[in-house]
Structure 1
């Protein structure tokens, strides 16, 4: 019987390409990456096919796999507190109703993961395609690996940087190319969770921050701190819109978007 620890891997399903990394004590090592066709909608089946080929090419028995999903493939929403919802089953049903109300489509076919919160507080929810989760589980199994987690990028990034977000009032932005995801809190309570399509430029990002700060000032005399995570972008970003802006790691990690994304996975 081998006493060595199983090798650990991270797969990143980006908006246009997939990367497979071996997790090291410090950082990660690229094993392979592949582009996929984004013309079809949804694009995640093509991403899953690209990952399957990478797994087959680099399979070694006994591996452990964590998968990070681009915000392009997940949906985020806020589940308001309702006193009448008292059981896990009622909460799950209520979350599905909220999903259908926001996205105007049935919640069937999506897995909703809710953040644990104290009574009286709204919860964050991330929705992941059921079929994609099933395919990832089968792909890992087919190469003899154990699938440890499938993490939405927005949630993984917030968890990674949570110790740096030392404020009860903040706006947390993950500016992934083509899509920015936002979490907002006031007095330690979640107040908003959403994603918007956004061009990959400083001008577009500044416009988004300016709009959000203007909305904050409607609710409060002082703007909250903006925490900004821009994976794969090394150039300086100076917001002309935010009074308090804190740009979060990773910086100086190269311009490889998928590698930068992989580093947030715990």
Structure 2
């Protein structure tokens, strides 16, 4: 099963084992959110109750972390770095330079790059990962993995994106995450707090980001918008407006939920 962990709610998608792995059920569970959206403790404390709703015996649980709880960075291609530990050291150095001493308390992952391109760094509080592991174990379940929402969403849509260039736009309650995908590889990642009126300035935001990146060709026409908080039951539940046409941004689209389909 998968659990999407956000500041004010948990999303669940359970699946039966077997040849045909169709969705068993999906649930949403509200929690009393902390004043700071980056405070993960209320959501984590609710994990045992959320897992119990699945009625699965000793399930394997994949937890998808809201972008509120994750920091991202990109590392440029570097032929001098050959080993994973070298990339991890560079990632930690980069995070410390931007975020200071707090980065020393983060769990950090560096994703492999396609064709030797830029690598994306994901970082979350190590205490968050430890707490998730503890709460999952408390109810007799096994933590299969903890994954950042950006990476889970990208993996679900990898075939759709292919070798095209576009902005991947992920809207969660109170947060907008932008990732520029250029010919199938990472080029830029931004994550910021946003109010419910985020759609109005979105075009302006993307144009500004393109200017900052000094792109030869601004990518504002091909935009993929995911509206809502996480996708339940995989690719088919993601709300994906037509992003191949004329610079349009869908407003008032239905919410999706956040626990992606089991692998």
TM-score interval (norm. to shorter): 0.7 to 0.9
Structure 1's 129 and 235: CA in aligned 2 closer, same or farther, altered over 3 A?
closer
Structure 1's 221 and 138: CA in aligned 2 closer, same or farther, altered over 3 A?
closer
> What is the count of residue pairs matched by the alignment?
248
Q: Deviations over 1:73-97 (max 9, x none)?
A: 1111101223332322221111101
Residue 86 in structure 1 maps to residue 82 in structure 2:
yes
Choose which of 114, 117, 125 in structure 1 pairs with 2:113: 117
Q: Distance in 2 between matches of 1:50 and 1:88?
A: 34
Partner of 1:174: 170
Partner of 1:227: 224
Partner of 1:133: 129
Q: Distance in 2 between matches of 1:236 and 1:94?
A: 35
* RMSD of aligned residue pairs (Cα, Å): 3.3
Partner of 2:258: 261
Partner of 1:54: 50
Q: 1:236, CA displacement in angstroms?
A: 10
Partner of 1:150: 146
Q: Deviations over 1:80-121 (max 9, x none)?
A: 223332322221111101111222344322111111125642
> Do 1:59 and 1:143's aligned partners in 2 also have CA atoms closer than 8 Å?
no
Partner of 1:10: 2
Q: Deviations over 1:136-169 (max 9, x none)?
A: 1122222111111211111101100111103342
Structure 1 unmatched runs, 5+: 1-8
> Do 2:37 and 2:68's aligned partners in 1 also have CA atoms closer than 8 Å?
no
Q: Distance in 2 between matches of 1:236 and 1:81?
A: 31
Q: Deviations over 1:166-219 (max 9, x none)?
A: 334222111222111121133544221121222223214343234345557x52
Runs of 4+ in 1 over 6 A off after TM superposition: 233-239
Partner of 1:207: 204
Q: 1:13, CA displacement in angstroms?
A: 1.0
TM-score by length of 2: 0.79
Residue 74 in structure 1 maps to residue 70 in structure 2:
yes
Which one has the largest radius of gyration?
1
Structure 2 unmatched runs, 5+: 231-237
TM-score by length of 1: 0.78
Q: 1:261, CA displacement in angstroms?
A: 1.4
Structure 1's 27 and 211: CA in aligned 2 closer, same or farther, altered over 3 A?
farther
